[in-house]
Amino acid sequence: MLKIETFTCNMLQENCYVVSDESKECVIIDCGAYYEAEKLAIEKYITDNELKPVHLIATHGHLDHNFGNPFISKTYSLPLEIDSSDAALVRATEKQAALFGITLNEPMDMDIKMFHMGDRIKFGSHEIEVIETPGHSMGSVVLYIKDEKLAFTGDTLFRGSIGRTDFEGGSMLMIIQSLRMFVQFPDDIRLLPGHGQETTMGYELAHNPYLDR
């Protein structure tokens, strides 16, 4: 049984997830912690629950999902794991930040481990499948835990909407093609997005104008 703790981070209200099971191993997904209080809250949760972080994962390379990576990487000696198509994007976080008038608190100088479509990321008794869903960015992915009927959708799919495609590397055609993958999920699968509240596949099929069986 998974335990999922959500931390809403930074000026863009991004969702960072700490996911653990009975083994006490955990993965940290999309650590957008920008402010010191956010970093300390995540660290405290991990310490208080006696968790062992074994993976630091990003669903894509945009800055709001990656602010906290250097802190997590240094604290727990973990590389950042990200799709190969977005590795360069996360390396260019300082450039991204300048476009938004944001100053980085620390450089993105952690090690990067690249994954690809179909790779499996294991922790505890669970396995995460990497599903590439380009469109919001070239390297956007969905992280699917089949046994738990759970998927972390990053900025590909939100409750009732989808991620914007007007950033560099974005493509409306590609994201629409990627969305076809979602209709293969069962209706009761939980979808945890990079921003906003969680949803289900059934709700999205009924209410999201971008999805069509």
pLDDT value for 213: 53
Angle at 147 between CA 139 and CA 132, to 5 degrees: 10
For the chain, domain boundaries: 3-207
Instruction: For residue range 3-44, list pLDDT tens digits in order.
Output: 999 999 999 999 999 999 999 999 999 999 999 999 999 999
Instruction: For residue range 144-176, list pLDDT tens digits in order.
Output: 999 999 999 999 999 999 999 999 889 999 999
Instruction: For residue range 172-189, list pLDDT tens digits in order.
Output: 999 999 999 998 899 999
Decide if pLDDT at 107 tops 90: no
Residue of 44, 53, 48 whose CA lies nearest to 24: 53
Q: Tell me the pLDDT of the chain averaged across its residues.
A: 96
Q: What is the CATH number of domain 3-207?
A: 3.60.15.10
pTM assigned to the model: 0.96
